[in-house]
Amino acid sequence: MLHITTPFGRRPLTAAQVKAQAIADGCLRDTTVEKWAVLRDITEARTQLGLSAPSLAVLDALATFLPETALQMGEGPALVVFPSNRSLVIRTRGMGEATIRRHLAALVDAGIIIRRDSPNGKRYCRRGPAGTIAQAYGFDLSPLVARAAEFASLAEAVRAEALACRIARERVTLLRRDCVKLIEALEEAEGAPGAAMSLRARYGTAMGALPRVPSRTALNAAGEVLAALATDVGKLLLAHQESVESSGNAGRNERHIQDSKPEPSGYEQAFDVKKKDASAPDPQTMPLVAVDAADGGNEPSHLPVRSTYPLGLVLSACPDIRDYARGGIGTWRDLVDTAGLVRSMLGINPNAWDEAREVMGDDAAAVTIAAILQRAEHIKTPGGYLRALVARTKRGEFSLGPVLQALSRRQLGQRASDIPHRRP
């Protein structure tokens, strides 16, 4: 029959104390648990139990007064400990008595221990004839045995939540890395940050919504947003790569036609260079020095492009590239940077652009891009066209001189046609 004990003095009897005594009384006798395993479960579930770290330190100190590792529910005061305040101060590594009393009250309110107060409130035991403890007044640790399964269940839930939170955090970390690198790859592939600016804004919004210490719900929400962003960026990147590959395939077809020469070359048509007689040297197919001798030019092969063609001449022949400069084109460096942006707009693969700069040089590659842009409406596959010009440069069959001359004549012809004619 359950007999509920009450605390000494003015301490009130709470519902938690009644419940703890009822659970302990209803526990099966001979139930055995491992003491330190139960204390570990209570430590992991301390937030759910409403306990603080100092309260757990006091509980550990109480548990040390039971020398047995296995705690067994039985008859009598087998699980009652009765340490003095001085002993508790020593076992808690110098914690103050007032602080110990406060945390003992917290353990009682949480139903972790039960007060078994003596008539005068002192803690002591009365032993029988054989020296065994017949009566003890102090703190009953039987709830550690009676509620062991509950503590284990709470600890398992906490561990599962911690694992789910860790997995969600790892997922967000991986998605952050994927999004950042995918956006950077898209910017590099396109050559301009315009299309990726909105994607970076979406990434910043998703990360800004995360608190400093995010919960699993917040991590899962951020993970969904980042996953959708990574998918969108990946689709754009794949679409760009497919367009680049299709341009490269078309370029290979063009080079095959050029080598067979069944009809006049499309490269000269694109730059408005007419086919010459078979007996006359072709400026576009002769070696670089021979081109200069044939055309009467002065482009020595050992001089850099900027020493041969003034920047003003290039911009006069290819004025359309000025429209894509961020701050105007005042130097050759500005021309090269602008050409890097224009090649993306033309759909030229970054690899083709890098190869052109390596073979032709930065300045010549930039002038070639400007010339392709100037005649873009007549060139179906700028990427394949550039690769073909690079191949001809390697063979010494391409020179910028005739190209710039043809474009300059076209610009002069257009300006002349724009002047209104007066009647005589």
pLDDT at 235: 87
Residue 267 CB neighbours (<10 A): 19
Q: Is 6 helix (H, G, I), strand (E, B) or coil?
A: coil
Q: How buried is residue 74: exposed, middle or buried, by Cβ count under 10 Å (0-12/13-18/19+)?
A: middle
Contact present, 81 and 62 (Cβ < 8 Å): yes
pLDDT at 3: 67
- Annotate 175-219 with DSSP letters as a single string: HHHHHHHHHHHHHHHHSSSHHHHHHHHHHHHHHHTS-SS--HHHH
Chain Cα centroid distance, residue 152: 36
In terms of DSSP H, where are the helices of 261-381?
Answer: 266-270, 288-295, 305-308, 311-317, 332-345, 350-360, 362-374
- The string of pLDDT tens digits covering residues 4-51 is 777 776 777 777 777 777 777 767 677 888 999 999 999 999 999 999
Across the chain, which distance is largest between two alpha carbons, in Å?
145
Q: What is the C-alpha to C-alpha distance for residues 42 and 71, in angstroms, rounded to an integer?
A: 15
pLDDT at 250: 46
- Radius of gyration of the chain measured on its C-alpha atoms: 43
Parse the chain into domains and list their residue ranges.
15-146, 162-255, 265-418
Q: What is the C-alpha to C-alpha distance for residues 260 and 142, in angstroms, rounded to an integer?
A: 97
Contact present, 139 and 115 (Cβ < 8 Å): yes
- The string of pLDDT tens digits covering residues 369-418 is 999 998 888 888 888 899 999 999 888 888 888 888 888 888 777 766 65
pLDDT at 124: 84
pLDDT at 301: 39
Q: What percent of the chain has pLDDT over 70?
A: 79
Contact present, 388 and 395 (Cβ < 8 Å): no
The CATH fold assigned to 15-146 is Arc Repressor Mutant, subunit A (1.10.10)
Extract the residue ranges of the chain whose pLDDT is less than 70.
1-3, 9, 26, 28, 75-76, 190-195, 243-304, 307, 415-424
Q: What is the C-alpha to C-alpha distance for residues 64 and 53, in angstroms, rounded to an integer?
A: 17
Q: What is the C-alpha to C-alpha distance for residues 109 and 151, in angstroms, rounded to an integer?
A: 16
**Letter for the amino acid at 393?**
T
pLDDT at 282: 40
pLDDT at 416: 62
**Residue 321 has which token pair?**
């590239």
Contact present, 409 and 376 (Cβ < 8 Å): no
**Residue 143 has which token pair?**
């709830």
